[in-house]
Every structure is written in structure tokens, then in C-alpha cells.
Chain A
Amino acid sequence: MKSKEFKRVDLIFDCDGCQPIDVVKKALKMSRDQVIKSVIDSGLRGRGGAGFPTGVKWKFAKEEESDVKYVICNADEGEPGTFKDREILDIVPNKVLSGMAICAYAIGSKEGIIYLRGEYNFLLKPLNQTIDIFNNSLSKIGLDFAIKIISGSGAYICGEETALFESMEGKRGEPRNKPPYPTKAGYNGKPTVINNVETLVYTSMIINIGTKEFVKLGTSDSRGSKVFSVSGDTPKAGIHELELGLNVADFVAEFGDGDTKAVQVGGASGFCVPRKHFKETIIGFEGIPTGGSMMVFNSTRSMYNVLNDYLEFFEEESCGQCTPCRVGTQQLMKGINAVKTGEKSSDYLDQLLRLTETMKIASKCGLGQSVANSFSSIVTNFREEMIY
């Protein structure tokens, strides 16, 4: 498949256009079905990483009969290497709020909640001030919808949507069984739309610039642009909005330090792309989908240390509810240490790879299922670094 050329985009942080509240007004002039149709036609998929079509999610929630529905903004950004949601909430919070309001109008909700991770508590004060003003503006334009913030308490797993509901309900953040999906029974058992911070901004942008403009960007599988969090061995660390569908080689040409050995696309739960695969790897849903985390490693870095770090992260953040994930993450960590110290032979890596396959099938949620991504891509591509 052909990749798109490298192209910078400025939709998220551009503030020259109209006011976010005016975008809500524009949405209110459309019918609820028209709003949902625009989002569906735009091809927008969730920007948190999983990539569920946003408009379809809204449609399901609208079709549910209920007096109470919730719009939740998932700001529990915890994936190593990701910091775009914090920047968005810091720089253009009104755009996020407008996305929530548009969703509320479309599905018929009166209550919006931002679940903000505890690590971002310094944003509470400014964000609450912005929300007060925005809520006021909403009542002035006649939309019965109010937003508030609920603060997290330092658990990566609460970024998983159903774990997030559990946490908001005052429980341990352990993911629920699905179905029922959140659009049927989410927060407090009521129909809920839960979207990532960035996704909500794009819904607002789609209403603002129109579906036609939006679909000009990206590929058929990955419409639009995406905010990337670039870190590691790069002279251009920071937030960069790029058109989706580019390949890793073009990315490295722009952001690498000239000695890039590997790029971890999608954080600890994503994939490690080695230099030999840069050209053929597309960043997007047809290649490697990502929540935006791009960690660049140059040839001075030990990929064993990188993998060890990820496994330590997963071992600590596994909620412990299901055995494949709880025990699997511990065994993987012990296993690579044993191979490195020579306690086990290198063949043991193949057994560990089989274990990740089991975790992929048997784990209850995305955390345990995605450990296999980074583990197999690092072990397969940098096997010698795991052993020697």
C-alpha cells in the first residue's frame, strides 16, 4: 500500500477560526441526525488508540432510550510517551468542551464529565475556570448541558473505558466484561459516550470546517490528521500534528537525529519498528494504529532496557483481575532477565513469545492483550540484544 507524503496540519491548535462556542451554535442549527451523519461520513476514528468510529458510537448512544445519558471525556492519558491530551487541555480547552457539547446535543445528554488523571491535577484550577465560563455560554445559547471534572488517582488502567466508569463509581478500576458496551450501559449503568480528548476536538473541527474538507486529509482507513507526541532521541521533541498515512521513514527523516535505530509507535502497548522496516510501515489504521506516542531510539540505546522498562510498567499497572495479564507480565519480566543473565537459554524467548500469544487471546482487556505488541516486535527484531 502506498503511504501519504509527510504533511504538517494545523487543525487542533489553530485559534484563528471561529470561537468554539460558535461551532456549538452551528451544530445546534443542524438536526441531531445531521450532526451524527457528518461525524460518520468524516470517517473519524477514536484517537485514544483503539480507533472505533466515533460517529457510529454517537449513533448507538442516540438510539438508546434513557432519561439520563452521559458524555465523558477520557483525559486519563497514561500511555508512556503520550502527552498530547495534556497539551490540548492546556492550550485549547474550549475546543474539547465544544466537542462534548456537540456530542451531548447529538445523543441527548445533559451531563458531561472530564475524567482527568491525577498526575494532571495542576490543570484543575484553570480548567474549572474555563468550564464555568463555557457552561454559562451553553445555557445562554439554550443547550441544557453542563460539564464537570472528576479527578483520577494514579492508575493507568483507568484509561480503559469501563475501568474508568468503575473508578468514577468509587470502585477499584477493574475493567468490566463487554458487552454491554458503554453506549448501552456505561457510567452508572446509563448510556454513555466516552471519547478521547483529541477525538472530541476533531468532532468540533469537522462541524466547523465540514466533512468535505476533513476527508481530504488522510487515507480511506485513516481519515484526517493526528497529534503526535514525539520524544526520545530527537531534536524536535514535542507535539506535532501530521496527516495520517505517512510512513515511518518520512517520520524519521523529519524527527530522527540521524542515527535512529528504532521507533516505538503507540507507546508501551504499541509496536517497535526497526530501521529495516521504516519505509514499508504506515502510521495509521492500515499499518500501525497509534494513540500518538512516538518514541525515537538511536543506536546508543539498549532495546533490552527499553523492553524491560515497558514490562516493569505493565507489571505495575496490570489491575490484577485476570490471571493471564497479572501472572503473564511478571513471567515475561522474569523471563527476559533469566535469558539476559544466562540462566535460561535463548530458546526460552520463543516460549515467552508463545506466552504473549496466550495473553493476547485470554486477557480481559486491552492492557494484557497489547503486551504482545511491544514484546514480540522488540524480541523478534532485536533478538541478539535480548541475549548478549
Chain B
Amino acid sequence: MTNTEELVKQLINKHGIHRNSLLPVMQGVVKEESYLSDEAMIEIARGLDLSAADVYGTASFYSFLYTEYKGKNIIRICKTITCKMKGKHKIVEAIEDHLKIKKGETTRNGKFTIMEANCLGWCHKGPVMLVNDDVYPEVEAEKVVEILESYC
């Protein structure tokens, strides 16, 4: 049994074999493997007795459930107007400069992916950055490198 098969099996055991488990199972896979590989989606479909197309169709609806390869750490920067007004582009530039990749791309070593996100709910403390589940409000361009280093 591959690691992915094992992981899917564990998650389905934990959440139960019914449709309502689909999102928690997919979230669990993304947490461990950072994205939903074809193998994972096919395993989930098999385990929950759904079609693989249905699993893919559901996953592709949600911006946190990736169906393409992503880095181990996902960096999200809020791009909504109030964070824009507080200079989110400086943060994006600082990260792009440090990691030598552009928005939407993943570093060669697979450690980081940079993304922009819609309102993250910190408008009074913009610009805001999420790294995985950790939040960094009022983040400064000078501090960004230091923060990212802590995930290496």
C-alpha cells in the first residue's frame, strides 16, 4: 500500500464512509501532502463510493483544495482593496525576490508556493499574510524573509 493509499484509508476510517466526509478527508490529504494528487482523488472516490470526476469536481471548487502540485508551505497574501491600500504589493515583491519565483509558482525545492487570496479578514491590520494556517497581520516587507526562514 502506498503512503497516499494509507493516508486516505486512515482519514476515511476517521470520518466515516459517507458523502459528508468528502471535504474533511480532502482537507486531511492536503494537510499531509499539500495537494490532491490524481492517486489521492481516485483513492478517495473508491473509498467513499463516488466517481473520481465527482471528487475532482468538488475539489476544484474550493480555493484551499489544490488539484495541482503545491509546495510544502503555502504563502497567501491578501489582495483585497484595504490590504492593497496598505501596500501588499511590497510584501509580494519581497517574497518573490527572496524565493526567486512569481505569484502562483512553487520553488524548485518544493518548500514554498506563493498565492494571492481574497479578503482574509484582517482589513484593520493590513497587509496580512497567511503561511499555512499561521497568520501574520501588519506584516512588514523587511520581516518577511525572517518569517519564511522559520519554515525552512
Residue of B nearest to A157 (CB): B61
- Known contacts A295-B81, A316-B118, A317-B118; is-contact A154 B124 (Cβ 8 Å): no
Contacting B at CB under 8 A, from A133-176, are 150-156, 167-174
- Asked if A155 and B62 sit within 8 Å, CB to CB, the answer is yes
Binds A, one of B18-26, B95-103, B104-112, B144-152: B18-26
Chain A residues within 8 Å of B57, by CB = 172
Chain A residues within 8 Å of B84, by CB = 305, 309
Give Cα A154–Cα B115 distance, bound, in whole angstroms. 13
B134 within 8 Å of A (CB atoms): yes
Q: Kindly provide the distance from the CB of B66 to the nearest chain A CB, expressed in whole angstroms.
A: 10
- Asked if A119 and B27 sit within 8 Å, CB to CB, the answer is no
Chain B residues within 8 Å of A339, by CB = none
A-B Cβ contacts below 8 A, count = 118
Chain B residues within 8 Å of A110, by CB = none
Give Cα A150–Cα B26 distance, bound, in whole angstroms. 13
- Asked if B63 and A80 sit within 8 Å, CB to CB, the answer is no
- Asked if A310 and B81 sit within 8 Å, CB to CB, the answer is yes
Contact bitstring A230-243, B, C-beta under 8 A = 1, else 0: 11110001110000
- The interface on chain A, measured as residues whose beta carbon lies within 8 A of the other chain's beta carbons, has a size of 51
- Asked if A83 and B124 sit within 8 Å, CB to CB, the answer is yes
- Asked if B62 and A153 sit within 8 Å, CB to CB, the answer is yes
Q: Kindly provide the distance from the CB of B123 to the nearest chain A CB, expressed in whole angstroms.
A: 4
Residue of A nearest to B65 (CB): A153
Residue of B nearest to A301 (CB): B85
B52 within 8 Å of A (CB atoms): no
- Asked if A153 and B119 sit within 8 Å, CB to CB, the answer is no
- Known contacts A153-B27, A237-B125; is-contact A306 B63 (Cβ 8 Å): no
Q: Kindly provide the distance from the CB of B103 to the nearest chain A CB, expressed in whole angstroms.
A: 14
Q: 8 nearest interchain CB pairs?
A: A170-B22, A231-B123, A237-B124, A154-B64, A153-B62, A154-B63, A172-B61, A121-B133
Residues of chain A having any CB pair with chain B under 8 Å: 77-83, 85-86, 117-122, 124, 150-156, 167-174, 188, 229-233, 237-239, 293, 295, 301, 305-306, 309-310, 313, 316-317, 319
Residues of chain B having any CB pair with chain A under 8 Å: 18-24, 26-27, 57-58, 61-65, 80-82, 84-85, 117-126, 130, 133-135
Extra inter-chain contacts (11) besides given A81-B82, A155-B63, A231-B123, CB under 8 Å:
A78-B119, A81-B80, A82-B121, A83-B121, A122-B133, A153-B26, A153-B27, A153-B65, A168-B20, A170-B22, A306-B81
